[in-house]
A and B are shown apart, each in its own frame.
Chain A
Amino acid sequence: MVEKVTDIDETADAFSRARSEGNVAEEPAAAGRSDQNGARMREPIFDCHDVNVHYGDKLAVRNVNMALGQNAITALIGPSGCGKSTFIRCLNRMNDLIPSARVDGKVVYHGEDLYGADIDPVSVRKRIGMVFQKPNPFPKSIYDNIAFGPRIMGTKGNMDEIVERALKRGALWEDVKDRLKDNAFGMSGGQQQRLCIARALALEPDVLLMDEPCSALDPISTGRIEDLMEELKQNYSIVIVTHNMQQAARVSDMTAFFTVELDGDTGHRTGAVVEYDRTDKIFQNPSDKRTEDYVTGKVG
């Protein structure tokens, strides 16, 4: 084997910590090799320590210890109710918007505690953009959809240029440059989703969280979004929740498999990370039998 470029020692440290918690494989990607695509994960962008999420008095996700790589695509997979969406929402404090939700533990973002007392959730969401399952453009023109965020944030600069740059990054510019004033609802589903991605990019974030961004799209639009993610990875870090295992396999560098644990006494279900490793490892030779059974389709 030809050894590829490696420069991921910091990530390796984060891994070894996660490993000691028992939810990462013995030989993760970071142990001296780069991921399958040679992505250089210089340092983790998120470093999660003992993250627990409660809804009311019910524990929804327990004990997540994971370091997510910079300029990498991390996929979260697992059956329904395994807490992957709940977890991704911790990464930009979206759970703050649910009154009963409580996040314990630490989410360190660029070395800072995301849930620290002095952190403004709005500025967090500006740096950490999110794209949802169903495209949700505003009932406005294509142009205004993109300009909305920068205007609210009081972004300086030429708005036409900001809009053009965001649409280009969202791989949408060629499709819509002659109809920027048209209503966004007139676009196809795939275009609307790319508009939502472009809208998030207009705020110059450095992380893009995607919660099942393609599940409402046809295969061609899905392919376009996946190619776009590959491009965006150069400048952004991406975390994607997906029900589509093949999508996780195709696009991601690292994959975390979540599962649901059933408490026999209370009947209560809690999500937890079973295995977190290089995507090619997860799909070729996972360390945990539960991961193997899930990716081979033996259990849902």
Chain B
Amino acid sequence: MPVRPALRTRFQEELRTLEDQALGALDMVVSTLDRALEALSHQDVELASIVIHDDDRIDGRFLEVHQGILSLLALQAPVASDLRVVAALLHTIKHAERMGDQCVNIAKLIPLSGHEPPRNKQLMELIEQMGVLARSEVKQAKQAFALRDVEVAEDLVRQDQRINKLNRDAFKLGVEIGTDEDTREWAMHMMLVARALERIGDNAVDIGEQVAFVVTGLFREFSDASRSAQHDS
């Protein structure tokens, strides 16, 4: 018997392209996050403004994938595992878009904290550690999706717990930062940065949950957000 070529090749190609585009948005998030963190470390207002303007690219990608998914649903009627991938991509691109917005939030805080802010080295270090972890979570979420690897996806929870712990530590430091008004104002801004990074981590975990859904067909939350914070640490 001659080798039968796969059927519906155009549909499969379209689905693959959509996945590449959606996961590519996560690469865009990583490079945006890198720049936001660099701008934060060096108090680089110009770089921060580039981050803000560049968010249009991620938003554009969101629209592109969103439209592509609607077309695919309307025209190709995907079913079974294909349908799960399509649904998961719709979530994933939304999470990517949200993460891009969090990078913008960070970038917008940079000029607000002044030209030469009275930095607290310890607090800054905590936030930089959070940044490193958030970046690695986004990369890992992409990898988990591309490989359809539930274990890699579930491991995101472990990393996210570290971010959450650092976030609480940062909060404690912020509360106790002292009486100087400028320092307190700076610390408040850093709390918002920490919050943005913590949310990026959450979005990465949500993508991980989508990976498990694609593979198993069952949706479950990896960690219960309604749990009290101390159980998380």
User: DSSP majority for the B interface?
Assistant: helix
When distances are taken between beta carbons in the complex, the residues of chain A under 8 Å from B2 are 174-175
B residues 13-45 near A (Cβ < 8 Å) are none
A227 touches B75 (CB 8 A): no
Chain B: minimal CB distance from A38 (Å) = 11
Please determine whether A1 and B60 come into contact, CB atoms closer than 8 angstroms: yes
A2 with B64: CB separation less than 8 A: yes
Measured as residues with beta carbon below 8 angstroms from the partner, the interface class of chain B is 10 to 19
CB atoms of B10 and A280 under 8 A apart: no
Q: Does B63 contact A (CB under 8 A)?
A: yes
CB proximity of B233 to chain A, nearest CB, Å: 44
* Residues in chain A near residue B8, CB distance under 8 A: 223, 226-227, 250
User: Of all chain B residues, which has the CB nearest A282?
Assistant: B74
Partner of A280, one of B7, B9, B64, B71: B71
Chain A residues with Cβ below 8 Å from B60 are 1-2
**A37 CA / B11 CA spacing, docked (Å):** 11
Q: Which residue of chain B has its CB nearest to the CB of A251? A: B10
Asked whether A250 and B74 contact (CB < 8 A) given A1-B64, A174-B2, the answer is: no
Report Cα–Cα, A284/B63, bound state, in Å. Answer: 15
Are B70 and A284 closer than 8 Å at their CB atoms? yes
CA A234 – CA B75 in complex, angstroms? 20
Q: Which B residues touch A227, using CB under 8 A?
A: 5, 7-10
Interchain CA distance A279-B75 in the complex, whole Å: 8
- Say whether A1 contacts B63, CB under 8 Å: yes
CB of B113, distance to nearest CB on chain A (Å): 36
Residues on A with beta carbons closer than 8 Å to the beta carbon of B9: 227, 230
Query: Bound complex: CA of A36 vs CA of B18, how far in Å?
Result: 14
Interface bits A79-119 vs B (CB < 8 Å: 1, else 0): 00000000000000000000000000000000000000000
Select from chain B the residue with minimum beta-carbon distance to A222. Answer: B7
Can you list 12 contacts pairing A with B, beta carbon distance less than 8 Å?
Answer: A220-B7, A223-B8, A227-B7, A246-B77, A249-B75, A249-B76, A249-B77, A250-B11, A280-B71, A283-B74, A283-B75, A284-B74
Q: What 8 pairs between A and B have smallest CB-CB spacing?
A: A174-B2, A223-B7, A249-B75, A283-B74, A284-B74, A280-B71, A230-B10, A1-B64
- Contacts from B to A (Cβ < 8 Å): 2, 5, 7-11, 60, 63-64, 67, 70-71, 74-77
A sample of 15 more A-B contacts (CB under 8 A), given A1-B63, A230-B9, is: A1-B60, A1-B64, A2-B60, A37-B10, A220-B7, A223-B7, A223-B8, A227-B5, A227-B9, A249-B76, A280-B74, A280-B75, A283-B74, A284-B71, A284-B74
Interface residues of A (CB under 8 A from B): 1-2, 36-37, 174-175, 220, 223-224, 226-227, 230, 246, 249-250, 279-280, 283-284
